């Protein structure tokens, strides 16, 4: 089994939480290893020693002499920082020395390095970030969550196919319901992009296409895969994350206003804990970059050890289910021949 390459330098808080997440994966996931830890070797060895895992045979250190900072341009991964941790990690996949890469660093750099170095799957022209978001009944996929802000109709068709495969094989949905995010459920609603994509999605075999869905449909359990361009998807994703944090903050503030409310909150502790677990993005660990010829998981810059552990799990599951091969077969069966026009 090929290892997973983990960029342990790219997060907001340095390598400590990322290396701790690697340690958790090795302790709690039976098939986590082997793992390649990509970063400053001296720093990474220090963190491993702190965890007592400096001699773990499932770990191999790969030195990287720099990191792409969050305020660097995405092209830094390709120009001027050839030794950056994300660049080195993606190169390991390109060379066949790793089966997947996880990074909590610069998203744009991760996408750029993956697209240029790994290329795209046959028949796919643009990648899409698949973010799994919670509903009362489980999770739905939002695709694209920010990789391609200027999408064409063919790209949205490909996102639907890729999201369908992801939902079936990693989320366990037998017949995923696919919806196109628009400003109305009627067929004729939307902009030129969604109207053209609607027609393509209607012709796609093996898709349970519901038609247009609106923003209020997303969290009501009506749809399993939601398709949109990366501009809209990224706005939706970040707005949802911000709203969730605001609700938690407001709720805490209101519950602490008097003793009676505090007592009620204590009685409801179990419900609050379950609610937190339902909305915990760290259960998925990261978002898969679908469409590239490899397995790439992109984590939050603030990824905790738990998130890193689960990102490694998701990467292993994607590999074990051979999802990319299934995507290629579905793309080849589409009525639209060849890759999308640039």
Q: What is the CATH number of the domain that holds 25?
A: 3.40.718.10
Q: Are residues 200 and 190 in the same domain?
A: yes
Cα dist. 210→38, 43, 180, 223, 265 in Å?
Answer: 43, 50, 8, 8, 40
**Predicted confidence band at 275 (pLDDT cuts at 50, 70, 90)?**
low
Compute φ and ψ for 36, nearest 5 degrees. -105, 120
Asked if the model's pLDDT at residue 337 lies above 60, the reply is no
Q: Are residues 197 and 48 in the same domain?
A: no
Asked if the model's pLDDT at residue 250 lies above 70, the reply is yes
pTM: 0.88
Residue 112: what pLDDT?
Answer: 93
**Predicted confidence band at 269 (pLDDT cuts at 50, 70, 90)?**
confident
Task: Establish whether the linkage from the previous residue to 13 is cis, with ω within 30° of 0.
Answer: no
Q: Are residues 93 and 155 in the same domain?
A: no
Is residue 240 in a domain?
A: yes
Cα(3)–Cα(317) distance, integer angstroms: 13
Asked if the model's pLDDT at residue 223 lies above 80, the reply is yes
How far the first Cα of the chain sits from its last, in Å, is 36
Is residue 22 in a domain?
A: yes
Query: Domain total for the chain?
Result: 2
Q: How many residues does the chain have?
A: 342
Cα(81)–Cα(59) distance, integer angstroms: 25
Residue 272: what pLDDT?
Answer: 65
Is residue 327 in a domain?
A: no
What sign does the dihedral 213-219-225-231 (CA atoms) show?
A: positive
Residue 263: what pLDDT?
Answer: 81
Q: For the chain, what percent of residues have pLDDT higher than 70?
A: 95
Q: Are residues 270 and 307 in the same domain?
A: no
Residue 244: what pLDDT?
Answer: 77
Q: Which residues pair with 39 in a beta bridge?
A: 63
Mean pLDDT of 90-110: 95
Compute φ and ψ for 169, nearest 5 degrees. -95, -25
Q: Are residues 96 and 180 in the same domain?
A: no
Q: Are residues 181 and 275 in the same domain?
A: yes
The domain in which residue 90 lies consists of 1-122+291-322
Residue 72: what pLDDT?
Answer: 83
Cα(19)–Cα(331) distance, integer angstroms: 37
Give the position of tokens 């773990």: 56
Q: Is the CB of residue 315 less than 8 Å from the CB of residue 9? A: no
Asked if the model's pLDDT at residue 295 lies above 90, the reply is yes
Is residue 333 in a domain?
A: no
Q: Are residues 192 and 107 in the same domain?
A: no
Is residue 284 in a domain?
A: yes
**Predicted confidence band at 6 (pLDDT cuts at 50, 70, 90)?**
very high
Residue 280: what pLDDT?
Answer: 58
Burial class from Cβ neighbours inside 10 Å (0-12, 13-18, 19+) for residue 172 reads exposed
Is residue 335 in a domain?
A: no
Closest CA to 88 of 1, 2, 9: 9
**Predicted confidence band at 277 (pLDDT cuts at 50, 70, 90)?**
low
Burial class from Cβ neighbours inside 10 Å (0-12, 13-18, 19+) for residue 265 reads middle
Closest CA to 7 of 20, 18, 23: 18
**Predicted confidence band at 281 (pLDDT cuts at 50, 70, 90)?**
low
Asked if the model's pLDDT at residue 90 lies above 70, the reply is yes
Q: Which residues pair with 298 in a beta bridge?
A: 103, 287
Q: Are residues 262 and 161 in the same domain?
A: yes
Q: Are residues 199 and 99 in the same domain?
A: no
Q: Are residues 284 and 295 in the same domain?
A: no
Q: For the chain, what percent of residues have pLDDT higher than 90?
A: 68
Cα(338)–Cα(334) distance, integer angstroms: 9
Q: Are residues 46 and 166 in the same domain?
A: no
Is residue 226 in a domain?
A: yes
Is residue 157 in a domain?
A: yes
Mean pLDDT of 147-167: 96
Mean predicted lDDT score pLDDT of the chain: 90
Task: Name the token pair of 150.
Answer: 């200027």
Closest CA to 115 of 105, 104, 101: 101
Q: Are residues 101 and 150 in the same domain?
A: no
């Amino acid at each position: 089994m090929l290892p997973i390459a983990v960029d342990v330098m790219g997060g907001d808080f340095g390598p400590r939480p990322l290396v701790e997440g690697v340690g958790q994966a090795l302790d709690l996931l039976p098939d986590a290893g082997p793992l390649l830890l990509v970063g400053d070797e001296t720093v990474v060895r220090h963190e491993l020693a702190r965890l007592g895992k400096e001699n773990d045979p499932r770990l191999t250190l790969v030195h990287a002499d720099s990191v792409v900072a969050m305020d660097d341009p995405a092209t830094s991964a390709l120009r001027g920082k050839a030794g950056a941790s994300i660049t080195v990690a993606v190169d390991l996949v390109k060379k066949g020395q790793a089966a997947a890469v996880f990074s909590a660093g610069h998203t744009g750099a991760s996408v750029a390095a993956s697209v240029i170095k790994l290329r795209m799957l046959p028949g796919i022209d643009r990648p899409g970030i698949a973010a799994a978001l919670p509903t009362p009944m489980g999770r739905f996929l939002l695709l694209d969550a920010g990789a391609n802000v200027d999408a064409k109709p063919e790209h949205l068709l490909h996102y639907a196919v890729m999201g369908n495969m992801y939902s079936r094989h990693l989320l366990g949905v037998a017949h995923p319901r696919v919806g196109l995010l628009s400003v109305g459920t009627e067929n004729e609603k939307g902009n030129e992009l969604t109207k053209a994509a609607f027609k393509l999605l209607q012709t796609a075999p093996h898709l349970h296409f519901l038609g247009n869905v609106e923003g209020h449909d997303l969290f009501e359990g009506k749809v399993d895969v939601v398709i949109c361009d990366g501009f809209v998807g990224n706005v939706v994703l970040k707005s949802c994350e911000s709203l969730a944090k605001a609700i938690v903050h407001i709720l805490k503030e209101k519950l602490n206003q008097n003793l009676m409310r505090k007592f009620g909150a204590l009685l409801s502790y179990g419900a609050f804990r379950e609610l937190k677990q339902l909305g915990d993005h760290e259960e998925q660990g990261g978002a898969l970059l679908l469409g590239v010829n490899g397995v790439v998981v992109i984590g939050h810059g603030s990824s905790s050890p738990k998130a890193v552990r689960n990102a490694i799990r998701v990467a292993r599951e994607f590999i074990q289910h051979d999802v990319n091969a299934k995507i290629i077969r579905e793309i080849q069966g589409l009525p639209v021949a060849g890759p999308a026009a640039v």
